[in-house]
Chain A
Amino acid sequence: MSFKMALMGATAAMALASTAQADVLFWSTQAKPVEETQAMRDQVLAGAGQKVDYQANDGGPWLTRLQAEIEAGKGTIGVLGALHGDFSALKAEELVDLSSVDLGGVKVNATFAKLAKLGTDGQPYLPWMQASYIMAANKKALAYLPAGADINALSYDQLIEWTANVEKETGEKKFGFPAGPDGLKHRFFQGYLYPSYTNGVVRSFKSDAAVTAWEKFKELWSHTNPGATNYNFMQEQLLSEEVWIAFDHSSRLANAFNEKPDEFVAFPAPAGPTGRGFMPVIAGIAIPKTAPDMEASKALIAYMMKPETQIATLRATNFFPVIDVALPDDLPPSVKAAGDAIAKMSGAPDANPGLLPAGLGDQGGAFSKVYSDTFERIVLAGQDIRTVLDDEGAILNGIMQKTGAKCWAPDAPSEGACPVE
């Protein structure tokens, strides 16, 4: 039986292998959840004027496949989609310079476009879409807000008091934080906690202010649901009411707002002594040198940057446009909620926006690991804060020296590699 099956299989395999594919392969790490992939295919790419095969992957296979094609000098990938960090780990000369692509007068956000130059004169990738991290809460939690606290201008102290109130009244720890293996906890430390308490990320890594920041975070952790080390996408725990108040990536909260728009509110991240730290997330699109049909790939890039496509992408993925475009009124609840919260966050008088790490190259992962490790040692293992910061600070300094990456906001600019002070 199995032999016959295998024979059939072998014939089928040969037949399948020989069919040529003319679709443009969009090889992406974004819009990975199945319904987002579906929406990208049906709502965004269906109108591209050519057949596009959108495939979303984990970072590992994404990079391995790309490297293999570049090394073999022959490829099937037409267009790449990934986060800024993924692109900065590549060599710029492996990507086609996109500065000559005609975008039809679309104005791309200048800060992001500059970041996307990856330190070259060309444009190895183009910004594609952006998001940020925000807070979300179940409306039931609002009753426990500390007296006089404004949810749109919370401080970390007020957040801690709020979560403590909730715990006291309900008997349950209802704060949620994505500390799971796939959670984005390191971004909270890099873009939110550190800037809010130390006005820096690298320079101030082991400062006294950083010790205070970690003490505060430990206090917040004591009111955090102990299951948090398994949380990756806070929308799940918000929907199941395991937690009432949570911090996460706006697209990882989207389902909560879309499924029960009347039960949740989105609001800006809290502020610390040095302002309201927050950080953008930038995804980009690029063409690898080995793209089989360069013209088709460039046409797809131009299509992705069109205002209508950017709006469609927003609906599909909850990532916001990176170009100048007016948002329509009929957006899904998640987009409205996140958009409002981000606008309030960036428009706050004490806003302290940070940039994404730049110039780290393939050390981006190691850089983030320093922050995750610090969290694990201080908060989960309960080690002495000063000792841990000194240890991990030395590792961080090593990474900065090795890559020679200059300081980025909110750290003060540096001449050479950004030092850990």
Chain B
Amino acid sequence: MTASPINTAQVRKSGRFLFQASVVLLCAWVLVPIYFLLINTLSSPETVASFPKPFWPEFDLGSLSFFANFAGMLKALKNSIIVASLTMVMAIAFGAPAGYALSRFDFRGKETFRVLILLTRAFPLPLLALPLAVLFIRTGLDDTLFGLALVHTTLAIPFAVLITFSLFSGIPIELEEAAWTLGCTRFTAFTKVVLPLIAPGIAASAIFAFVISWNEVFAAAVLTIENRTLTAFLLQSLGTSPLHLKFAGGFILVVPALVFIFAVRKYLFAMWGIANR
């Protein structure tokens, strides 16, 4: 048998080609639709309706300026950011301790607790919205951003708990024990040793909470009137709007979330254990 170096080189070459092709394909998968969204947003209504689509935007700002003049847009954008930020903080404030408890302590009903947390996602919001709205109106939480953030927090907590649970489980308990022997209390060991290690992961689950809140429509539409979030404000109307406004509205909805995710992207990678690249 003769080992052929050509073959190995060839295999390596096609392997590299396959790798690069997959990378290009995956990037295109994400980028091409966003690029077309951009082109159509910056096109006149006639161009949007025509086919084939041009590859370069013609920088017609008609559709975007429509939204700039649409009453309440900026306020809705601000509301969305506030609600999503509140959700992010509350989901972590409640979710991370629960995740820590699940990973470090054995207690009765632990498994049931884990299932119960997931169950909060089992009921569709349209079913919950009516009693929630009645309760909110009676307690005065109705039409407040804080009230809506509470609902979104409930939606985000299962993810926060499960993500932080797996993060905490990835940190050996021995590290904490070592800290205890060196004079740390349970709390200081947590803040000085564990927290710095999982901070990127916490940030990642916070991003999830942010996105969940950003994308939620139904509760936002029912529970807020004057203080609508951008999604509740736009998404319902966009489905029935003409094509060029659909693109522009979609663009407006996507961009803030994209910017946010881009800004915190390095934390996102921490989720898969390749922190700080």
Question: Which residues does A use to contact B, with CB under 8 Å?
Answer: 2-3, 5-6, 9-10, 12-14, 16-17, 21, 25, 32-35, 37-38, 41, 53, 55-58, 60-61, 64-65, 67-69, 71-72, 74-76, 182, 232-233, 235-236, 239-240, 255, 259
Interface residues of B in 104-120 (CB under 8 A from A): none
Does more than half of chain A's interface fall in helix, strand or loop, or is it mixed? helix
**What 7 additional pairs, Cβ within 8 angstroms, besides A32-B236, A72-B133, A182-B240?**
A5-B85, A9-B83, A13-B86, A16-B79, A33-B240, A37-B237, A235-B242
Q: Are A33 and B221 in contact (CB under 8 A)?
A: no
What 7 pairs across the A-B complex have the smallest Cβ distances? A68-B133, A61-B221, A13-B145, A72-B137, A17-B144, A6-B89, A9-B82
Whether the Cβ atoms of B82 and A12 lie closer than 8 Å is yes
Minimal beta-carbon separation of A64 from chain B (angstroms) = 5
A57 close to B236 (CB less than 8 A): yes
Whether B143 sits at the interface, judged by CB under 8 Å, is: yes
* B40 contacts the other chain (CB 8 A): no
Would B221 and A2 count as touching, CB distance under 8 A? no
- Residue B25, interface by CB 8 Å: no
Minimum distance in angstroms from B140 CB to a CB of chain A = 8
Binding site for A on B (CB under 8 A): 45-46, 49-51, 66-67, 69-71, 78-79, 81-83, 85-86, 88-89, 126, 129-130, 133-134, 136-138, 142-146, 149, 206, 218, 221-222, 225-227, 232, 234, 236-243, 245, 249
B182 to chain A, nearest CB (A): 29
Q: Are A41 and B71 in contact (CB under 8 A)?
A: yes
Give complex CA distance A55, B227 in Å.
12
Q: How far is the CA of A357 from the CA of B175 in the complex (A)?
A: 71
Contact partners of B51 in chain A: CB under 8 A: 240
Which of A32, A35, A38 is within 8 Å of B242, CB to CB?
Answer: A35
Whether B241 contacts A68 by the Cβ 8 Å rule is no
With A33-B241, A56-B236 known as contacts, the answer to whether A9 contacts B86 (CB < 8 A) is yes
- In the bound assembly, the distance between CA atoms of A377 and B236 in angstroms comes to 29
Are B89 and A2 touching (Cβ within 8 A)? yes
Assuming the contacts A2-B206, A64-B129, A72-B134, asked whether A34 and B45 have C-beta atoms less than 8 A apart, the reply is no
The answer, among A38, A61, A71, A182, for a CB contact under 8 Å with B239, is A182
Measured between beta carbons, the chain B residues less than 8 angstroms from A182 are: 239-240
Which of B50, B79, B85 meets A240, CB within 8 Å?
B50
CB pair B86 A2 closer than 8 Å: no
Q: Are B137 and A69 in contact (CB under 8 A)?
A: yes
CA distance A65 to B136 in the complex (A): 11
How long is the Cα–Cα vector from A259 to B232 in the complex, in angstroms? 29
Known: A57-B221, A240-B50. A35 touches B240 (CB 8 A): no
Q: How far is the CB of A265 from chain B (nearest CB, A)?
A: 19
Which of A9, A21, A58, A239 is B85 in contact with, Cβ under 8 Å?
A9
Q: How far is the CB of A399 from chain B (nearest CB, A)?
A: 22
**Which residue of chain B has the shortest Cβ distance to A70 in the bound complex?**
B134
- Tell me the minimal C-beta distance from B153 to chain A in angstroms: 12
Given contacts A32-B240, A68-B222, contact A10 B137 (CB under 8 A): no
Please tell me if the beta carbons of B237 and A14 are within 8 angstroms of each other in the complex.
Answer: no
B242 and A255 contacting across the interface, CB-CB below 8 Å: yes
Contact A68 B242 (CB under 8 A): no
